[in-house]
Structure 1
Amino acid sequence: MKILVLGTGGTIASARTEMGYKATLGVDEVLQLAGIEKRDGFEVETRDVLNLDSTLLQPEDWEVIGRAVFEAFSEYDGIVITHGTDTLAYTSSALSFILRNPPVPVVLTGSMLPITEPGSDAPRNLRTALTFAQKGFPGIYVAFMDKIMLGTRVSKVHSLGLNAFQSINYPDVAYVKGGELLIRHRPRVFGKGEPEFDPPVDPNVVHLRLTPGLSPEVFLKISEAVDGIVLEGYGAGGIPYRGRDLLSAVSRTASQKPVVMTTQALHGGVDLTKYEVGRRALEAGVIPAYDMTKEATLVKLMWALGHTKEVENVRRIMTTNIAGELSIEKERLG
């Protein structure tokens, strides 16, 4: 069995510098410091794709990483990607959309403490990722603190704590204990056939957080400069129209460009049929994100716009469960 470990930088590959922690180590050095080598009947090969703090990663880098993964499918039984934690959930979502029908497990992982620091969580997370890459099933996943989570369902929920990631509105896929893989939920398989590399993304998308007093004029100015908007609303979703009539501004925009509503709440998702303010948003043309994470919503909109600029086509893509990012059944969408 052959496992490929791709390095992209991040805290896991960082060391102290005069300016603070910086990604300076190659993936070979990371594995060596973690005490991981060819063992237990499987072979580990490595390749550095990038070496950056994940704050610096751009949507174009998703294609670079995705291409490296795609080209490795025929040679390896599993793939692990070491990645910085700050944008890991965006990358795991992006790979879930641009890599169709992955034939092997692809597992992203990282650490909250650099591999160079005492007590680093890097060895633990790497071993979890490697275990699932060997014994798991095809798809895009994230390994962190003994958990395996679906790539389109993770969010970083803590800026410093070791248990920094959660699976949102979806069960953990598996756990690794003592080197043993314990399956808890096997995700549904989406799509059939040969692996496909489908990378077009349009990064000209903005994520706006709805706040009391948000100016309709500001919203319209921003909407002129972008191809799509993710509007992060309150609770189950809705748009204010009293006082400052943001709803009218959103309605004007939504007829020409996709406006997708997610929620500031971590769990539960958006239901624009629940309240009057939500139903008005639906009538204005807003596309509900349902129970997608904020990261998956943004990335999916970029990916959709990379394929089409027609609002109704984008709506169809956004409300179709492509890689496990939606729980709601298709017949209920609308």
Structure 2
Amino acid sequence: MRLKKILFITTGGTIACVRTPQGLRPVLSSGELLAHLPGLAELCQPDTLALCSIDSTDMSPAHWLDMARAIEENYDRYDGFILCHGTDTLAYTAAALSYLVQNAAKPIILTGSQQPISNEITDAKKNLRDSVICALDPRSHGVMVVFGGLVIAGTRAKKNKTISYDAFASVNFPHLAQVQGDRLVHYIQTPLPEGPVQFSHALDQRVFLLKLTPGMRPDLLPAIFQLYDCVIVESFGAGGIPESLMEGFARGLGRYEDTHKVLIMTTQVTYEGSDVGIYEVGRRVKDQFAFLEAHDMTIEAVITKSMWLLAQKCDHFQELQEKFYRQINFDTFYH
């Protein structure tokens, strides 16, 4: 039986770090990284591609496009892809790739670690090996995060611990599977996609996340709407905008067909999502503005989906609305 060909795409991150006088720095090459898994060649045919070597704090949409391009260029040559990534922005990258690479019948897995792979005690080797087990499973497909033994849909992952090995949670959706030794136990069974894989090649970065704080001044809004075309409001609780900010939003947004300015409402609360309209502070937003609501989506998915969506240049708000609410990789259950 032919061993499956897996392409390991390395980007740096803690998993590739060594200690320096300036702190942990990602310097291990892709070959040095995989050398810490001596039995790898018995499981698959591994190849490596070093895309960059950075702390994931420096990750940007340009890097996401490079990753998607690398997968597209190598898609027909490999049975699966494993991206080694720093943990701090891994959830953003997983969500972005979910929109940039859709309908993939092959697994595209992101993983990393809380401790460098060269440490005597580390979670890196397990996470990397678990990713291989997941990639080799014939039922695995699409963008996923494998970390701490869990398999999480690319749009549902969130880092919620800074030190512990179980650093990622699946937000508002069950995790897809769990790695138990050499076995993958599936909890969410999805059929392989029909039709060809679809790649996107553009993201529009004019997206701003505004986290509401009590007493926020309205005079910052004109500058935001001047620089950005999409403003995501992380509101309190179920959702709403303070009365003091309503006039500023009205001036900044205008009519979508005239300004192409987009308002997206979400919540600062991690679990259970937003429901603008429960309270009067939300109903006045519904009465005055045409807006999109994130409901149960993670903020990482909302930001990256907005960048992907803005790049498509929707002429009418209804078209924008339809595309935003279309489910991609389990990102939303709004109907």
What TM-score, normalized by structure 1, do the two folds share? 0.93
**For the Cα contact (< 8 Å) 2:152–2:175, is it kept in 1?**
yes
Name which of 291, 302, 309 aligns with 2:307.
302
Distance in 1 of aligned mates of 2:221 and 2:94: 29
The CA RMSD measured in Å over matched residues stands at 1.5
> Which amino acid is the alignment partner of residue 164 of structure 2?
G
1:250 CA displacement: 1.8
Give the Cα–Cα distance (whole angstroms) in 2 for the partners of residues 34 and 203 of structure 1: 38
Runs of 4+ in 1 over 4 A off after TM superposition: none
Q: Would you say 1:174 and 2:177 are equivalent positions?
A: yes
Which runs of no fewer than 5 residues in structure 2 stay unpaired? none
DSSP 3-state at the match of 1:74:
helix
1:317 aligns with 2:323: yes
Which of the numbers 12, 16, 24 marks the counterpart of 1:13?
A: 16
Letter in 2 for 1:252: R
User: More displaced, 194-203 or 88-97?
Assistant: 194-203
Residue 103 (structure 1) shift: 2.0
CA distance in structure 1 between the aligned counterparts of 2:329 and 2:252, rounded to whole angstroms? 28
Distance in 2 (alpha carbons) for counterparts of 1:278 and 1:118: 52
In the alignment, structure 1 segments of 5+ residues that lack a partner are: none
1:288 pairs with 2:287: no
- Give distance in 2, aligned partners of 1:164 and 1:202: 29
Is residue 221–residue 252 contact of structure 2 (8 Å, CA) maintained in 1?
no
Q: 1:1-334 to 2 correspondence within 5 Å?
A: 1-40=4-43, 42-135=44-137, 136-187=139-190, 192-241=194-243, 245-255=244-254, 256=259, 257-283=261-287, 284-308=289-313, 310=315, 312=317, 313-328=319-334, 330=335
Q: Distance in 1 between matches of 2:191 and 2:45?
A: 29
The 2-side partners of 1:143 and 1:107 are apart by 7
CA contact (8 A) 1:254 1:286 kept: no
Q: 102-111 or 179-188, which moves further after superposition?
A: 179-188
| Distance 1:273-1:84 versus aligned 2 partners, 3 A rule | same
Aligned-residue identity in percent: 35
Alignment size in residue pairs = 324
> Cα offset for 1:261?
1.3
CA distance in 2, matches of 1:326, 1:251: 27
Q: CA deviation at 1:279?
A: 1.7
Q: Distance in 2 between matches of 1:269 and 1:109?
A: 26
Normalised TM-score (structure 2)? 0.93
Q: 1:311 to 1:87 in 2, by over 3 A?
A: farther
How far did 1:188 drift? Answer: 6.9
